[in-house]
């Protein structure tokens, strides 16, 4: 009797499942919105990394925006010029590929060259460290080195060495994920055509910078005199690069920098 009861129960449950499945299939066929074939084509032409660098939640959302709202076709940094050209062919448009970029961490103050205000023993996360009295690093602008940017990088292009994050230019796809999570806003996307950069973000005067970092910008302005192309300028006491101008190539920019924060990457 128990066996019959079990079989009967199983039959009832199975029957209910069959009815529900049939009902759902009917509803889907009757009221479902058919997928746009063009959206599927565009989605398949994208890298599928879903990094969000284009400004959309993922590749499928970007594809829908391209087809439905005529979004720009050159927003996919990981795909680069090749993907932009493919999308142009699919959409019947001529596409001007955007200049390839990479992430740049504007700091050189590792554990050896920069001072710490206190011993941080909290969560290994830059956002958490910054929330505790503004971070443990004495420089209020520099890399905290707890790897939040490295953990969000979809291609493992960022590593933390000796308390300082570093970008592998060969792996970076310029998705911008690291830019969004850095609590000190010291990561930015820059054109790959530029090789010489100012790897410092401190806005403090030179004497103050020298107290907490051996490789910080001291605002000496030597770089602005050495760069004939005008890419190097000043933002207060901080040397900066105008990436809209031709890339600086003078090797003396690196050699003559007294703070050793101008580097060739």
pLDDT of residue 212: 97
If you ran DSSP here, which 8-state letter would residue 12 be given? H
For residue 6, the model assigns a pLDDT of 47
Contact criterion met (CB below 8 Å) for 142 and 184: yes
Domain ranges of the chain: 37-91, 101-264
Lookup: tokens for 28: 């889907």
Residue 224 phi/psi, 5-degree rounding, is -70, -25
Does 119 score more than 60 pLDDT? yes
- Which whole number is the average pLDDT over 51-79? 92
- Rounded to an integer, the average pLDDT of 76-82 is 89
Q: Residue 56 — pLDDT band, cuts 50, 70, 90?
A: very high
Q: Where are the beta strands (DSSP E) in the chain?
A: 101-105, 158-161, 164-167, 187-191, 196-198, 232-235, 238-241, 262-264
Q: Which pLDDT tens digit goes with each residue over 162-185?
A: 999 999 999 999 999 999 999 999
Report the topology of domain 37-91.
Answer: 3-methyladenine DNA Glycosylase II; Chain A, domain 3 (1.10.15)
**Mean pLDDT of the region 178-202:** 97
pLDDT recorded at residue 2:
53
Token readout for 55 is 């400004």
- Residue 7 or residue 126, greater confidence: 126
Average pLDDT over residues 93-99: 85
Closest CA to 206 of 216, 197, 195: 216
Q: How would residue 16 be classed by pLDDT, with cut points 50, 70 and 90?
A: confident
pLDDT at 74 exceeding the cut of 60: yes
3 pLDDT more than 50: no
What is the per-residue pLDDT across 139-154, written as a single tens digit (0 to 9) for each? 999 999 999 999 999 9
pLDDT band at 52 (very low <50, low <70, confident <90, very high): confident
Q: What percent of the chain has pLDDT over 70?
A: 87
pLDDT band at 132 (very low <50, low <70, confident <90, very high): very high
pTM of the full structure: 0.79
Q: Does domain 101-264 have CATH number 2.60.120.260?
A: no
Enumerate the β-bridge partners of residue 164: 161
The pLDDT of residue 33: 47
Instruction: Evaluate if residue 136 carries a pLDDT over 60.
Output: yes
């Amino acid at each position: 009797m128990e066996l019959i009861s079990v079989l009967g129960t199983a039959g009832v449950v199975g029957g209910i499942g069959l009815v529900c499945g049939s009902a759902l299939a009917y509803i889907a066929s009757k009221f479902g919105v058919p997928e746009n074939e063009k959206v599927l084509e565009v989605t398949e032409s994208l890298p599928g990394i879903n990094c969000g660098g284009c400004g959309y939640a993922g590749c499928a959302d970007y594809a829908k925006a391209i087809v439905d709202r005529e979004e720009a076709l050159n927003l996919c940094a990981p795909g680069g010029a090749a993907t932009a050209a493919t999308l142009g062919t699919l959409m019947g448009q001529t596409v001007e590929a955007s200049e390839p970029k990479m992430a740049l961490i504007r700091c050189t103050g590792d554990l050896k060259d920069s001072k710490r205000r206190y011993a941080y023993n909290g969560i290994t996360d830059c956002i958490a460290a910054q929330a505790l009295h503004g971070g443990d690093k004495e420089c209020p602008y520099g890399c905290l080195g707890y790897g939040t940017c490295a953990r969000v990088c979809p291609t493992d292009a960022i590593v933390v060495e000796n308390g300082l994050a570093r970008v592998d230019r060969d792996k970076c796809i310029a998705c911008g994920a690291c830019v969004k999570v850095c609590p000190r806003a010291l990561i930015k996307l820059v054109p790959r055509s530029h090789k010489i950069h100012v790897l410092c973000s401190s806005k403090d005067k030179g004497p103050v910078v020298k107290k907490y970092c051996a490789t910080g910008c001291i605002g000496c302005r030597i770089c602005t005199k050495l760069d004939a192309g005008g890419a190097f300028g000043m933002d207060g006491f901080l040397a900066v690069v105008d990436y809209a101008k031709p890339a600086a190539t003078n090797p003396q920019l690196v050699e003559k920098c007294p703070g050793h924060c101008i580097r060739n990457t």
